[in-house]
Each structure stands twice: as structure tokens, then as C-alpha cells.
A and B are shown apart, each in its own frame.
Chain A
Amino acid sequence: MNAEKVVFSFFIVLALTLNFGFFMGEIDDFAHHNIYELFATIVVNLIAMGLKLGDRTQVGAVLLSTSMVANLQLLAAAIIWGYVTQISETGLNTDNASVIISLSGGALIANVISVVMLVSETLMSRR
């Protein structure tokens, strides 16, 4: 067992699970989606991206890019949430709730790819 592997995999898998947790529920009903969960997802995703920095192999490069995609989508979701609740007059309605949730859905796909690559690389090395 390797401490690095434990920490690394922990954050990557946690990023996926939190993202999934936030995404679950009716897409236009924000009562099913917790804003704190979105916050946690963003934080964990950013940490995961930080851990991926500096790997010079091909797999490392693709892992990093999936994290970047996930972060881009999640931050976009957060910005929209901030705009509709704080700046615009409309507040959270079904229209902008569905935009936020679908953006996090996109990030979910990127996280799935990331985990699939992590698992397959581990299986490939057969240790």
C-alpha cells in the first residue's frame, strides 16, 4: 500500500461522489439540490486538480485535463448561482436552476472519465 495512491484516489473518487450527490434529483427543482454540496464538490475538485499537477506522462495529462473540464463546468454553475441569487432580481427559478444542475451534470461526466482512467491504470500495472 502506498500513501500517495490512497490520498490521490480518495480525492478523485470523492470529487465524483460529491458531484453525483449534487446532481441527483429533479433538474429544475432546486429543493433537491444542496448548495453546500456544490461548494464541497468545487473544493474537492480543485484539490484533485492540484494533486494531478506535475505528472509528465500521457495518462497524467489526460487526468489533469478532465479535472480542468470538471472545474470549469462547476465554477460556471457557481457563478450562475451567484448571479441569480445575489445580483439579478429573478432569484432562483426553474429556468436557471436547470442550467446550474445541467452544468454540474457535465462536470459529472468529466469526473467519471477521470475515475475510469484511474481504475484502468491501476489495473494495467497489475501490482
Chain B
Amino acid sequence: MSDSSLGRVSFIVLRHMRLPVVIFVCVYAICILGMVLVPGLPDSDGQTTYMSFFHAYYFLAYTATTTGFGELPQPFSNAQRVWAIVCLYISVITWLYVVGKIISLLKNPHLQLAFAEESFIRSVERKTNEYYLVCGFGDTGSLLLRGLTDAGLSAVVIERDDERMKALDLRDYPTRVLGLCADASEPRYLIAAGLESKKCIGVLILSNNEEANLKVAVSARILRPDLKIICRSASVENESEILGIGGDIHVVDPFRVFASYLAMLIYNPTIDTLNEWLSGTRGASLNKNICPLKGGKWILCGHGRMGRVVYQKLTNNGVDITAVEPLVENIEGISEHAVLGRANMENLKKAGLDDCVGLIAGTDSDTFNLNMIHQVGLSSSSLFTVARQNRHSNEVLFKKTDVDYILQPSLVIARMVLFMLTAPLLKPFYKHLLYLYENSPSALADLTNRLALNVGEGAPILKTYTINTNYAPAVCSMIANGTEVRLADIYRAPSNREGTLNVVPMVHQREGKVTVLPADELLLMPNDEILFCIRANAKVMLEANLANEHTLGYLLTGIEPAKSHFFRWLQSKAV
């Protein structure tokens, strides 16, 4: 609970309510006093009666609020009626004024902000599970949150833009995502979002603002020296500064990630297909085979910040590429491989559109990219086109065009960060894939076939299981009893132990030693980590195998072990 914001709430309320309260009290006092002093009707003895303070207050209570019960407790004298008229007008007006003040106070944006912050802090404090702090809810942030919540992870969001926060409220995430509209580069808000809490297990800094990202990263590191930080940064200078903060820190460069995806697509499409499929992209299929495209000439439209990185990367990979760029200062140094001018048909023809194999529409304007793809599509259909999609909201348009491949930088980053968090073991797997691609393409084909056969076409689930009492209590107790548990045993099918579940163990890690595609004979030990690629409907079964000792017992021996004390006793007698 932060005293400062609570103090601020009461301060705002007091400051705004001071005058209304004073006026209210004065008006009531005058009215009540008048009512008490004005003579009433004479009683049975002929004595003039006066109203008591209690009755005067009672009268005013229903008059001021326009309820109007009438003349209570006794009929009024004419003098009292005159005063009642005066009371009625001034008290009703005062009431309206006070109520109006209260309503305008409740609508005060500062107060609303203070209330929102207060309730946000309290909700964050009440969180029981571990969570990631996401700074920046742009395209990348929202895509990442979708992935995180789908994977069962929890997150808290800080975002500056009010409109984006409203968007967060409207998202149908599987779990509720708390959000605060604030500038994350102010450390106060980082603390409000529970950065100092042990339950916060990582900060994901994803905004477009380089300076702000750097500041958040530094603040987070100072506040929590042990925290995992993943920071988006597109500038090389900032990157080295961020990495210099030290500790468990990763920088994601959207341009470089984009360029390597593009290189992967052109250079080794098989891995790209695998990656698409593992990421669960809708419509992704392992059978889709894009033939390698590295043979011919390529045209890259846009040689700005991202285009430069793409150009470098592709040239390094041996792709013959020509850039088309309207700004002369952007093509300094590569002018022999570049055409100056906007990417219209004329300039594209100049860049060699007729004899190239592919076109990358990579400017930072979706309008340009779409228009380019559309125009090129009209003239030649054999060309392989890649479009950069900058805004997630333009998805419908990109899907409609005849483009062969859409690369969305925000999606690419969101996926990459998600894999870093949910399946860190995937990185060695990709390294292995690259190695296979270069050395034994047939092994790569075998692997793809195995995945296609065992896990199938639908989007797979990637999940890391640790052999501990939390994930795999049955396996742990078996090992503790001295039973040998092999990797193959834990993913046998419980309906028939000769068969296997629709899963493929991809990576195994023990004490820092990583094995890609571990052998089935591998003996499991406590604290082993295994990354499984699971068909969606097999997850429950796999988890039952790990957690239910009866099932695991059957998988190990083919005989289900006795379930209760009595039958175990009987068995020991029989032997």
C-alpha cells in the first residue's frame, strides 16, 4: 500500500470538498436555528410552541432533499411556513451544489487516476502466482500477452497510452491481465506494478521508445539485481548499453530478428516451415514446402533502418540483392546495388524486376508495401513476394493480397520473447536444426517427418517439464524408490504401453548439459528438464503419466501396481 497515493486521494477530495462542506454546514445551521426560533401554533393551554432542534433537523432533512413529507410533527404556524419557504429554496440549491461538486470530483481525471493506481497496486499485491511485468502494450505487447496467457503465465502491464489501456480492458485473455496507464520510465510505477515483489519473475520492455526502454531496463536492474530482463532495442548503441547493465538480460532487436527470419525464409525454408508450425501459426503445416529461393536476384524496397539490416544479412548469406530507396542518404555506400527513387513500377523495372526471383516490400509504411505487392502482382505472378506488415490492424488487407509471405516484425518479436520465456530450451534445438540443414539434410527431413507423424498437423504445444515433485511427482517417487525410469517410459500411451503418445521429446537438459533429440533409453534423474512438442489433445495424458503413479507403474512394467494397502499386503503374501 503506498501512502503517497492514498494521501493524494484524500488531499484531492479534501481540497475540492472544503467550500461545499462549509456552505452546507452554514446553510443547515441557519435553517435549523430559524426553525427553532420561529413561533409555532399555540398548544391547548394557549402557550406558543416552538420546534425542538431534533424536529427542526428532521424537517430540514426531508425538505432539503426534496422529499417533502409535509408539516411534521404538528401543523405549522404561518410564521413557520414563511421560514419553511426560505429553508426550502436555499437548502435545495445548496444540496444540488454539493451533489454537483461530488459528481464533478468523481469525474476528476486526477482522482480517477489515483483510484485506478490504488486499486491496481492492491490487485498486484494480492496476486498469488508468479508474473511478468510487461512495459508497453503495443502490437508486440498485445501479441505477446496473448501467447503468455495462453501458455498459462500471468502478466501485469504498464502502458502510457490511455487508448491502448482501454484496448487491454476489452481483450478476452484466458486470465485477467492487470494494467496501469502510466509511464514505466518512472520508477515509482515500476514499484507500483510489483517489481520489487518476489513474485515478479521478469520484466519485458517492449515499447517503441528507445530512451524509455533503456531507462526502464536500468531502473529495473537497480531495483532488482537478480531479475530477468528482456528489452526491445533497435539501435546498436543502446543495445550495448543495455547489455552493460549486466545480470540476466536479453536484448531483442526487431530489425535483426526480422532480417534473420527473412534470411531463414530465403536460405532454409524447411526450418522456417518448422518454426511457423511450432509457433502455432494458423494454417501452418509441416507439409507446406517452399523451395529454396537463394538462387536468383532479389529486390528490396526500402533501405531505411530495417532495410539496411536486411540488406546486410542477406548479402552475407550470398543473396544477390538490389535495393530501391527514395532517400539518397540511405543508400550511401551501396549505390551500385541500389536504385534511387520511390518503389513504383518504373523504378522496380530499373532494379531488374523482370529477371529477379523475389521482391521484399520492406518499407515502414503498410500503404506502400500493400500497393507495391498489388502492382507487382498485376504484372507478373511467378515472382515470390515478401511483405513487411507494420501494423497488426492491417492484417485483413495483407491476407487479401496475393503475397506469398507476410512478415510482421511485432509478431516475430512477440514469438521470440514468448519462446525465450516458455521454452528456453528451444534455442539449442534451432541451432541443431541449422547444423542439420548444413550437414545432413536427410536427418532434417526425418525429423520433420517424425514431428508430422507423431504430433500431426494441428498447432502443437511446446512445454518444458522438469522432473521434480511439482511437475512429475510420480516419476520422482519412482526414482526415489530406485526404479529406473527411461525417457521412453514417460510418453508411452496409457492405453497400450507398446505405443506412444502424440509427443516428441525435443531437448533434454541436465545440469547445464543440453541434448537435442534425446535418446529414448536415456535414464531420467531428478531436476532433468525436457522440452516436449505435444499434440494438443495429448497434453493431459502426458501430464497424467508424469503425475499418476498407477499409470506410470503400468507404463514401466505392463502391470498396474496394487492401489491400496490391503492389496499390497495381499501381493506380498502371495509372492
Residues of A within 8 A of B (CB): 2, 4, 7-8, 50-57, 60, 125-127
Do B567 and A127 touch (CB < 8 A)?
no
Given A52-B564, A54-B568: A126 and B549 interface contact (C-beta under 8 Å): no
User: A60 CA to B561 CA in the complex, in Å?
Assistant: 14
Do A51 and B549 touch (CB < 8 A)?
no
Is the C-beta of B548 less than 8 angstroms from some C-beta in chain A? yes
Given A54-B568, A57-B549, A125-B551: A4 and B563 interface contact (C-beta under 8 Å): yes
Which chain B residues numbered 518 to 573 have a C-beta less than 8 Å away from chain A? 548-551, 554, 560, 562-568
User: A20 CA to B551 CA in the complex, in Å?
Assistant: 32
Question: For residue A57, which residue of chain B has the nearest CB?
Answer: B548
Q: Cβ of A55: which chain B residues have Cβ within 8 Å of it? A: 563-564
Q: Can you name 12 extra interface pairs (CB under 8 A) apart from A7-B567, A55-B564, A60-B563?
A: A2-B560, A4-B560, A4-B563, A8-B564, A50-B566, A51-B566, A51-B567, A53-B564, A53-B565, A55-B563, A57-B548, A127-B495
How many residues belonging to B are interface residues under a CB distance threshold of 8 Å? 16
Question: For residue B550, which residue of chain A has the nearest CB?
Answer: A57
Given A51-B564, A51-B566: A56 and B549 interface contact (C-beta under 8 Å): yes
Do B550 and A54 touch (CB < 8 A)?
no
- A39 → chain B closest CB, angstroms: 22
Question: For residue B540, which residue of chain A has the nearest CB?
Answer: A124
Q: Cβ of B562: which chain A residues have Cβ within 8 Å of it? A: 4
Q: Cβ of B549: which chain A residues have Cβ within 8 Å of it? A: 56-57
Q: Cβ of B566: which chain A residues have Cβ within 8 Å of it? A: 50-51, 53-54
Is the C-beta of B494 less than 8 angstroms from some C-beta in chain A? yes
- B550 → chain A closest CB, angstroms: 6
User: A125 CA to B4 CA in the complex, in Å?
Assistant: 58
- Mask of B65-102 contacts with A, CB within 8 angstroms, 1/0: 00000000000000000000000000000000000000
Do B495 and A4 touch (CB < 8 A)?
no
User: A52 CA to B565 CA in the complex, in Å?
Assistant: 8
Q: Cβ of B568: which chain A residues have Cβ within 8 Å of it? A: 54
- A8 → chain B closest CB, angstroms: 7
Number of residue pairs A-B, CB distance < 8 angstroms = 39
User: A7 CA to B564 CA in the complex, in Å?
Assistant: 12
- A94 → chain B closest CB, angstroms: 41
> Could you say which of B495, B549, B562, B563 has the most chain A C-beta atoms within 10 Å of its C-beta?
B563
Residues of B within 8 A of A (CB): 494-496, 548-551, 554, 560, 562-568
User: A8 CA to B494 CA in the complex, in Å?
Assistant: 21
Q: Cβ of A2: which chain B residues have Cβ within 8 Å of it? A: 560
Question: For residue B496, which residue of chain A has the nearest CB?
Answer: A127
Do B563 and A8 touch (CB < 8 A)?
yes
- B365 → chain A closest CB, angstroms: 55
- A4 → chain B closest CB, angstroms: 5
User: A126 CA to B494 CA in the complex, in Å?
Assistant: 8
- A43 → chain B closest CB, angstroms: 15
Do A126 and B550 touch (CB < 8 A)?
no
User: A56 CA to B549 CA in the complex, in Å?
Assistant: 8
Do B563 and A126 touch (CB < 8 A)?
no
Q: Cβ of B563: which chain A residues have Cβ within 8 Å of it? A: 4, 8, 54-55, 60
- A10 → chain B closest CB, angstroms: 13
Q: Could you list 24 examples of A-B contacts with CB < 8 Å?
A: A2-B560, A4-B562, A4-B563, A7-B567, A8-B563, A8-B564, A8-B567, A50-B566, A51-B564, A52-B564, A53-B564, A53-B566, A54-B565, A54-B566, A54-B568, A55-B563, A55-B564, A57-B548, A60-B564, A125-B494, A125-B551, A126-B495, A127-B495, A127-B554
Q: 4 shortest A-B CB distances, which residue pairs?
A: A54-B565, A126-B495, A54-B564, A55-B563
Question: For residue A127, which residue of chain B has the nearest CB?
Answer: B495
User: A7 CA to B551 CA in the complex, in Å?
Assistant: 19
User: A57 CA to B554 CA in the complex, in Å?
Assistant: 14
- A65 → chain B closest CB, angstroms: 14
Q: Cβ of A126: which chain B residues have Cβ within 8 Å of it? A: 494-495
Q: Cβ of B560: which chain A residues have Cβ within 8 Å of it? A: 2, 4
Q: Cβ of A51: which chain B residues have Cβ within 8 Å of it? A: 564, 566-567
- B500 → chain A closest CB, angstroms: 15
Question: For residue A126, which residue of chain B has the nearest CB?
Answer: B495
User: A51 CA to B567 CA in the complex, in Å?
Assistant: 7
- B386 → chain A closest CB, angstroms: 47
User: A51 CA to B570 CA in the complex, in Å?
Assistant: 11
Q: Cβ of A127: which chain B residues have Cβ within 8 Å of it? A: 494-496, 554
User: A51 CA to B563 CA in the complex, in Å?
Assistant: 9
Question: For residue B564, which residue of chain A has the nearest CB?
Answer: A54
Taking a contact as CB atoms closer than 8 A, the residue among B494, B548, B554, B567 that contacts A4 in the complex is B567
User: A56 CA to B476 CA in the complex, in Å?
Assistant: 14
- B548 → chain A closest CB, angstroms: 5
> Could you say which of B549, B564, B567 has the most chain A C-beta atoms within 10 Å of its C-beta?
B564
- A79 → chain B closest CB, angstroms: 27
Question: For residue B569, which residue of chain A has the nearest CB?
Answer: A54
- B561 → chain A closest CB, angstroms: 9
User: A52 CA to B564 CA in the complex, in Å?
Assistant: 6
Q: Cβ of B495: which chain A residues have Cβ within 8 Å of it? A: 125-127
> Could you say which of A8, A53, A56, A60 has the most chain B C-beta atoms within 10 Å of its C-beta?
A56
User: A125 CA to B563 CA in the complex, in Å?
Assistant: 15
Q: Cβ of A56: which chain B residues have Cβ within 8 Å of it? A: 549
User: A53 CA to B562 CA in the complex, in Å?
Assistant: 11
